[in-house]
Each structure stands twice: as structure tokens, then as C-alpha cells.
């Protein structure tokens, strides 16, 4: 999308989780197609949002990029170079993560100081003045006065304060990429914007590349520069956030938008594509959205759609946007495309 090398890039990421079917000793293990061939780029000073319903694979993408889990196929590139195997500390210094549940992401037995001190010690960043660095970190996430927080335990803090501590911990190593997995969904409504604004601030002031995983498309529109929509483990649409929400190209994105609460909406929305996401143990053939899609065609059942540019930096994986002739061609395979070629020559 942009010419510069992205800070962090996931290329054709695929991840299966193997689950035992039944609890028998010799039960067959079957793959859950959690993430299937997803490519995503995170640029410096940009927030990229991944939007989708639960089970869409958005958290898995976040964890693949954080290298908490390994992809079965595909690669993660840091500054255009393949990320080192495993998760060495050098990678941890570049890529940090913030988790969904601030009640679970801080260890209840340790004080706030411990949570911020450890990353500094691991990466030898404190140089003897840990207290000053910790104070600075807390101030950067707007926890003031910083001194009053360092000796507190997590349970003495409110949800929003805890999430800010979690962000401060991620910032401690001065990373270039921050992966935030649903960072506000567990927080009270009135304090969500505060955390989102903090993330926007970090992007602008510290040039962070941020991945914002969320199910709330309105907050993605608010915060993100680019929105990526996932459905059933696949990427279905990606675009600059305003153009995606104003002109959604994929039927699933349209469905998501029509379902989102929006009192400003002029009319009662009509849901096109009712139903639930498919089981990822046996995903539908072709386009995974086709069983629900109001515009489903024959080709959708048979072949996965290609990613098509539908506007500036706007791509959608949907046969609707493929030229009918080409659609026909790719469906009929080589023979058809040859005949198409002949036709063109005739003309």
C-alpha cells in the first residue's frame, strides 16, 4: 500500500489448530483453519485495525505477528527481513503486545513496579535509574502522579488504569510495533476513548506501528488509518478506514456495518446475510462467506475469490468485483481463458 518497507509484515500466514474430535484415546485430530493465507502490513506511524467477529482469526493473526505462536505456513518479516526463528529478545524489543483483559494481563501477586521493571532488566535498559524510567513510562500513559502507582497492586487499580499499565509495560522496551488485542473491549464505555486516544497519541508522538484488533468497527474507524476485515480465518477486505466504512466493497463488510449500533443511521438497517460464521473444522468451499452471501453466484461456491483492487489502496476478496468475463475465465480454467483470448483477438 505504501512504498516504504513496512515495519512488520505477515506474508501468507496460515495457522491450523489441531483438535481432538471426541475424547477417545485414538480420536482423530482435525485441523481448525484458524487463519488461512492472510497477509498484513504494519507501517510506522500508522494504526492498522483488524476487524471481525469472534472466531474470525483476528486474535490469532495478532499472536502470529507477536510470534507467540508459529505459523504453519507463511512468514513474518521485520523491516523486510524474515523474523528470527523462535522469539529471541531482539524481537521482543521491537514488537510488543497489549492484551484484552487488564484483569488477567497483570500478575496479581506483583506490584506495578515489578511489571515495568522486568522488561527494563531483561533488555538492560534501565542503567541504574529504573525508578526514573518507570516514572517516565507511567507519565507517558497518563498515570499521574507516577509515584503513587509504582507500589500498588493490580487489584487496587481500575480497569482503565490497569490497561494503561499494560501499555506502559509494552512501551518499556521502546518497541517499534505495538500489537493491541481488543485493548478496550473489557473496559467501561466511558473510559474506552481515553485508551484509544492514548494509542493514537503514541502513534503520532513515538512513530509506533500499531495493530489494533477489535470487533467494534466504529472504534476501528475512529482510531485506525487502515482497516482489515477478516471472516472465518480469511482476509476479505482492506482499505483506509474511512473509505472502507463509507464504501464497503465486500458483502460481509456491508453486513457488519449494517449490524453495528448506529443511532445516526437514517433508516432501520436491513441485514443481508443472516446466520453465523461457519465451523472452521470444515470451512465452506470457495468463498467462505458464500452460504450467507445474498449475492452468492456459482463461482463463489467453487473457487476462492482473488483479492481485487476496488479503489485507491482498497482491496476486496470478492467475485462481485471481478470482471464477469474474467470471472468466467478463471472459473472455466485455462481452456476458457484461451477462448477468451481468441475472442479478444477476433475483436
Partner 1 sequence: MTIDSTTLAPAPLAGPTPGFHRARALRLPRSPKVIIGLGIVGVFGVISVIGRWIEPYSPNATDTQNWVQHVLVPGTGGDTGFPASYYPLPLGPSAAHWLGTTVFAQDVWSQVLASTQATMFVGLVAAAIATVLSILFGVSAGYIGGGTDEGLSLVANVFLAIPGLPLLIVLADYVPSAGSSIVVVAAIIAITTWAYTARTLRAQTLSLRNRDFVEASRVSGEGSWRIILVEILPNLIPIVAASFLFTTLAAIAAYVALAFLGLAGAPTGSPPGLWNWGEMLREGFANNAVRGGWWWWWAPPGICVAVLGTGLALINFGIDEFINPRLRTAGLTAKAAKKAGIKTSTTLGVTPVIRSGPGGGERYAPSASRTREAAEPVLEIRGLSVDYGYGDEAVHAVRDCDLVLRRGRVLGLAGESGSGKTTLALAAIRLLRAPAVITAGEVLFHSKPFSGDAPGGTIDMLAAGPQQLRSVRWSEIAVVLQSSLSALNPVITIGAQFDDLLRVHRPHLSDEERWARAGELLDMVGINAERLRSHPHELSGGMRQRAMIAMALALEPQVVILDEPTTALDVVTQREILEELMGLRDRLGFAALFITHDLSLLVELADDIAVMYAGRLMERAPAASLFHAPRLPYTHGLLHCFPPMHGKRVPMEGIPGSPPDLRDLPSGCAFHPRCRWAMDRCKHDEPQLAAIDGSAREVACWLHRDGAQVPAELAMPDTRTTLREPVRQVIEP
Partner 2 sequence: MGVILRRLGVYLLAAWVAITVSFLLPRVVPGNPVAGAVARASQSGNCNELCVRAVEEQLGFNVHTSLWDQYVQYVGNLAHGDLGRSWSENAPVGTLILSYLPWTLVLLGIATTISFVAGSTLGTFIAWRRGSWTDWAIPFATFFQATPYFFLALVIVLVFGQTGTMLKWFPSLFGYDIFSVTPGPNLPYIQSVVGHAILPSVTVILASMAGFILAMRNQVITTMDEDFVLVAQAKGLPNRTVMWYAARNALLPVVSNFTIAISLIVGGQILVEIVFNYPGIGFHLFDALSKLDYSLVQGIFVVITLVVLAANLIADVIYVLIDPRARQAA
Considering only residues 19 to 78 of the shown chain, the ones binding partner 2 according to CB under 8 A are: 22-25, 27
Q: In the complex, what is the shortest distance from the CB of residue 335 to partner 1, in angstroms, rounded to a whole number? A: 30
- Residue 161: name its binding partner from partner 2, partner 1, none (Cβ under 5 to 8 Å by kind): partner 1
Residues 45-104 that bind partner 1 (CB under 8 A): 53-54, 66, 68, 87-89, 92-93, 96-97, 99-101, 103-104
Site membership for partner 1, residue 219 (CB under 8 A):
yes
Q: In the complex, what is the shortest distance from the CB of residue 224 to partner 1, in angstroms, rounded to a whole number? A: 10
Residues 3-42 that bind partner 1 (CB under 8 A): none
Q: Which residues of 163-198 are buried (b: 16+ CB within 10 A; e: fewer)?
A: bbbbbbbbbbbebbbbbbbbbbebbeeebbeebbeb
Query: Which string of x and - marks every residue 249-268 that binds partner 1 (by CB under 8 A)?
Result: x-x--xxxxxxxxxxxxxxx
Residue 88 or 333 with smaller CB distance to partner 1: 88
- Residue 186: name its binding partner from partner 2, partner 1, none (Cβ under 5 to 8 Å by kind): partner 1
Residue 205 CA to residue 207 CA, distance in Å, equals: 6
Q: In the complex, what is the shortest distance from the CB of residue 21 to partner 2, in angstroms, rounded to a whole number? A: 10
Residue 128 or 263 with smaller CB distance to partner 1: 263
- Residue 185: name its binding partner from partner 1, partner 2, none (Cβ under 5 to 8 Å by kind): partner 1
Site membership for partner 1, residue 148 (CB under 8 A):
no
- Residue 22: name its binding partner from partner 1, partner 2, none (Cβ under 5 to 8 Å by kind): partner 2
Residues 151-170 that bind partner 1 (CB under 8 A): 153, 155, 158-161, 166, 169-170
Stretch that binds partner 1, among 28-36, 78-86, 181-189, 296-304 (CB under 8 A): 181-189
Residue 90 or 279 with smaller CB distance to partner 2: 279
Residue showing cell 500513559 = 141
- Residue 25: name its binding partner from partner 1, partner 2, none (Cβ under 5 to 8 Å by kind): partner 2
Cis peptide leading into residue 145 (ω within 30°): yes
Q: In the complex, what is the shortest distance from the CB of residue 127 to partner 2, in angstroms, rounded to a whole number? A: 50
The total number of residues shown for the chain amounts to 347
Residues 271-310 that bind partner 1 (CB under 8 A): 271, 273-274, 276, 295
Residue 75 or 279 with smaller CB distance to partner 2: 279
- Residue 72: name its binding partner from partner 1, partner 2, none (Cβ under 5 to 8 Å by kind): none
Q: What are phi and psi of 281, to 5 degrees?
A: -75, -35
Residue 86 CA to residue 66 CA, distance in Å, equals: 11
Residues that bind partner 2 (CB under 8 A): 22-25, 27
Amino acid at each position: 500500500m505504501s512504498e516504504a518497507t513496512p515495519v512488520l509484515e505477515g506474508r501468507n500466514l496460515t495457522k491450523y489448530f489441531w483438535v481432538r474430535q471426541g475424547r477417545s484415546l485414538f480420536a482423530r485430530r482435525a485441523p481448525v483453519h484458524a487463519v488461512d493465507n492472510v497477509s498484513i502490513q504494519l507501517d510506522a506511524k500508522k494504526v492498522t485495525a483488524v476487524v471481525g467477529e469472534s472466531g474470525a482469526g483476528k486474535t490469532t493473526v495478532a499472536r502470529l505477528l507477536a510470534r507467540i505462536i508459529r505459523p504453519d505456513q507463511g512468514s513474518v518479516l521485520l523491516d523486510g527481513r524474515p523474523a528470527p526463528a523462535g522469539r529471541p529478545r531482539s524481537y521482543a524489543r521491537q514488537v510488543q503486545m497489549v492484551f484484552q483483559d487488564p484483569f488477567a494481563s497483570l500478575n496479581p501477586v506483583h506490584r506495578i513496579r515489578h511489571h515495568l521493571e522486568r522488561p527494563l532488566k531483561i533488555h538492560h535498559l534501565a542503567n541504574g535509574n529504573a525508578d526514573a524510567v518507570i516514572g517516565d513510562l507511567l507519565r507517558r500513559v497518563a498515570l499521574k502522579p507516577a509515584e503513587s502507582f509504582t507500589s500498588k497492586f493490580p487489584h487496587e487499580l481500575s480497569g482503565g488504569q490497569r490497561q494503561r499499565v499494560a501499555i506502559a509495560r509494552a512501551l518499556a522496551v521502546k518497541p517499534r510495533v505495538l500489537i493491541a488485542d481488543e485493548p478496550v473491549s473489557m473496559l467501561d464505555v466511558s473510559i474506552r476513548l481515553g485508551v484509544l486516544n492514548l494509542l493514537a497519541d503514541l502513534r503520532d508522538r513515538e512513530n509506533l506501528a500499531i495493530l489494533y484488533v477489535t470487533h467494534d468497527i466504529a472504534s476501528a474507524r475512529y482510531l485506525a488509518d487502515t482497516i482489515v476485515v477478516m471472516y472465518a480465518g480469511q482476509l476479505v477486505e482492506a482499505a483506509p478506514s474511512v473509505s472502507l466504512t463509507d464504501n464497503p466493497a465486500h458483502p460481509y463488510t456491508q453486513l457488519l456495518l449494517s449490524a453495528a449500533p448506529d443511532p445516526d443511521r437514517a433508516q432501520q438497517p436491513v441485514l443481508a446475510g443472516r446466520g453465523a460464521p461457519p465451523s472452521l473444522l470444515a470451512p465452506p468451499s470457495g468463498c467462505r462467506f458464500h452460504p450467507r452471501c445474498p449475492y452468492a453466484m456459482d463461482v463463489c461456491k467453487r473457487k476462492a475469490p482473488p483479492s481485487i483492487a476496488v479503489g485507491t489502496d482498497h482491496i476486496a476478496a470478492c467475485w462481485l468485483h471481478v470482471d464477469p468475463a474474467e470471472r468466467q475465465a478463471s472459473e472455466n480454467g485455462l481452456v476458457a481463458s484461451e477462448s477468451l483470448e481468441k475472442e479478444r483477438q477476433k475483436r
